[in-house]
């Protein structure tokens, strides 16, 4: 009987723990919103930035191009790159999908000594033309190549900034360089960039003795201002943020990385946020240009609320078996697509309102409270159950004692009759008493 009761108690506890875990899970739902495999097997894929709200283009290290519709999470077009265009996990590449002009621009490394900038039709992913820039390299992957509102193509190399123009009506020279400017001598190597088309402003981060940020006029490629930050040697993963601001990460192995945000009005004095992080240098970053920024640190996925004054991330997720390589934001469904060192890409849901999920710091505060509450409920139920069982057991024992008394009395009476004894039985309020 005792073992059975213990088993029942254990079952109740297990059920309550499962319910509590499910309840806690519903407080902070998983931000991942599905995935697709671009091919049967791949060593990795790269996603390219775009001005489209729903379509993105990806390439694999095996030389394939994919056109993906994010809202349907499906591949709508696939093609193979020309043999002359090489993509490798050991080499950087950068690209931009211009939905406005139905073109896809791709910068790839050629023989480790030059850059090949190629143009494809985004309608059917067919190759159109290309141009070579010699004795140059690609310094970083994201925002190294982009297009402005006038269809000018900008490319940042290790030594210079180039402005190119594509003329589909010119059969002899469709793609040509129309302007170039060398980078300042203090810039050892460019580390990241971001552009604000409304202001015709390009922000270029450089690795130097200390991280240096240059403001560049996109009309004539002139440097209008520069700013030095002392958190490390380079400005990493520049992104656009809320309230006409921009953000970047800076740090070293010996100095903690800081997530720094500034407004465009007066970059030198308008510190907006300055938060210390502990995850090192990210491989990719994307933002919704309004509130949230997602950073990929190898296996770790961190979502920051750029309007929050705390150092805590809004959400933390983990890629178990793969490493994140690149990311692109799609405003149509408020999703960020993440590529990995495999054929699989993931879709990450950005909250559309503060109520969509609870920030990570609130989650860690609420979770212990719920755990304590669940433990209290478990022990209360167990105590009530034990008392009820004890009362029931005592009642059963009383009934057994009454039965025993009646049996004893009956036996005594039978013995008295057999021995002709003059025993007298008296009744006192329902209780039997044997008097000799």
Where is pLDDT greater, at 54 or 199? 54
User: Which DSSP string do the residues of 220-268 spell out, in sequence order?
Assistant: T--EEEEEEESSSS--EEEEEETTTEEEEEE--SSS--EEEEEESS-TT
The CATH code of the domain that includes 203 is 2.130.10.10
How does DSSP classify residue 325?
Answer: E
Q: Please give the pLDDT value at position 340.
A: 96
Do 291 and 385 reside in the same domain of the chain? Answer: no
Least confident piece of the model among 6-15, 19-28, 228-237, 328-337: 19-28
Q: Please give the pLDDT value at position 23.
A: 44
Among 317, 345, 366, the domain boundary falls at 366
Residues 403, 422: Cα–Cα separation, whole Å? 25
Average pLDDT over the chain reads: 81
Reported as a single tens digit per residue, the pLDDT across 344-388 is 999 999 997 554 444 544 545 555 676 777 777 877 787 776 777
Residues 219, 217: Cα–Cα separation, whole Å? 5
Q: Please give the pLDDT value at position 119.
A: 95
Residues 345, 324: Cα–Cα separation, whole Å? 9
Do 189 and 203 reside in the same domain of the chain? Answer: yes
Do 239 and 139 reside in the same domain of the chain? Answer: yes
Least confident piece of the model among 165-179, 262-276, 320-334, 419-433: 419-433
Reported as a single tens digit per residue, the pLDDT across 399-424 is 555 555 555 545 555 555 555 444 44
Q: Please give the pLDDT value at position 251.
A: 79
Do 35 and 17 reside in the same domain of the chain? Answer: no
pLDDT reading at 26 higher than 60: no
Do 254 and 183 reside in the same domain of the chain? Answer: yes
Do 375 and 310 reside in the same domain of the chain? Answer: no
Among 366, 390, 417, the domain boundary falls at 366
Q: Please give the pLDDT value at position 84.
A: 80
* 434 part of a folded domain: no
* 435 part of a folded domain: no
Do 341 and 372 reside in the same domain of the chain? Answer: no
The fraction of the chain above a pLDDT of 90, given in percent, is 48
Do 411 and 302 reside in the same domain of the chain? Answer: no
Structure tokens at 61: 């290290």
Other C-beta atoms closer than 10 Å to the C-beta of 411 total 10
Average pLDDT over residues 107-130: 91
Q: Please give the pLDDT value at position 82.
A: 84
Range of the domain at 377: 2-22+368-428
Reported as a single tens digit per residue, the pLDDT across 66-106 is 999 999 999 999 999 987 888 888 888 999 999 999 999 99
* 436 part of a folded domain: no
Tell me whether residue 328 is exposed, middle or buried, using C-beta atoms within 10 angstroms of its C-beta: 0 to 12, 13 to 18, 19 or more.
buried
pLDDT reading at 132 higher than 60: yes
Reported as a single tens digit per residue, the pLDDT across 145-170 is 999 999 999 999 999 999 999 988 87
Do 182 and 298 reside in the same domain of the chain? Answer: yes
Average pLDDT over residues 312-320: 88
* 173 part of a folded domain: yes
Q: How confident is the model at residue 27 (pLDDT cuts 50, 70, 90)?
A: very low
Do 204 and 352 reside in the same domain of the chain? Answer: yes
In a 3-state reduction of DSSP, which class is residue 436? coil
Do 197 and 278 reside in the same domain of the chain? Answer: yes
Do 271 and 414 reside in the same domain of the chain? Answer: no
* 284 part of a folded domain: yes
């Amino acid at each position: 009987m005792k073992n059975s009761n213990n088993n029942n108690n254990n079952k109740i506890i297990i059920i309550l723990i499962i319910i509590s875990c499910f309840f806690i899970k519903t407080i902070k739902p998983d931000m991942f919103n599905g995935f697709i495999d671009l091919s049967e097997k791949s060593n990795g894929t790269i996603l390219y930035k775009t001005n489209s709200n729903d379509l993105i283009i990806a390439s694999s290290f095996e030389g394939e191009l994919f056109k993906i519709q994010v809202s349907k999470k499906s591949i709508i077009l696939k093609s193979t790159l020309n043999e002359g265009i090489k993509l490798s996990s050991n080499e950087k590449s950068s690209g931009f999908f211009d939905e406005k002009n139905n073109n896809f621009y791709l910068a790839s490394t050629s023989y480790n000594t030059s850059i090949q900038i190629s143009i494809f039709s985004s309608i059917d992913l067919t190759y159109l033309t290309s141009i070579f820039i010699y004795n140059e390299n690609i310094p970083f992957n994201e925002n190294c190549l982009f297009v402005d509102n006038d269809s000018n193509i900008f490319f940042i190399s290790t030594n210079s900034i180039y402005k190119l123009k594509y003329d589909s009506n010119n059969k002899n020279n469709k793609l040509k360089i129309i302007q170039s400017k060398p980078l300042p001598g203090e810039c050892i190597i460019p580390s990241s960039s971001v552009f604000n088309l409304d202001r015709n402003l390009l922000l270029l981060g450089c690795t130097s003795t200390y991280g240096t940020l240059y403001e560049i006029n996109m009309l004539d490629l002139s440097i209008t201002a520069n700013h030095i930050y002392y958190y490390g040697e380079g400005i990493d993963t520049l992104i656009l943020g809320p309230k006409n601001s921009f953000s970047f990460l800076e740090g070293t192995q010996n100095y903690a990385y800081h997530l720094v945000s500034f407004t465009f009005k007066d970059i030198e004095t308008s510190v907006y946020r300055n938060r210390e992080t502990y995850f090192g240098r990210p491989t990719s970053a994307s933002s919704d240009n309004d509130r949230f920024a997602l950073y990929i640190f190898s296996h770790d996925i961190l979502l920051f609320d750029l309007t929050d004054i705390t150092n805590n991330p809004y959400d933390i997720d983990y890629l178990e078996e793969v490493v994140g390589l690149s990311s692109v934001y799609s405003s149509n469904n408020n999703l960020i697509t993440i590529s990995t060192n495999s054929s699989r890409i993931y879709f990450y849901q950005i909250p559309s309102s503060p109520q969509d999920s609870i920030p990570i710091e609130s989650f860690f505060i609420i979770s212990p409270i719920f755990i304590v509450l669940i433990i209290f409920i478990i022990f209360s139920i167990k105590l009530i159950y034990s008392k009820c069982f004890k009362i029931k057991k005592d009642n059963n024992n009383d009934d057994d004692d009454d039965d025993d008394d009646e049996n004893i009395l009956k036996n005594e009476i039978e013995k008295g009759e057999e021995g002709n004894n003059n025993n007298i039985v008296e009744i006192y309020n329902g209780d039997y008493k044997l008097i000799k």
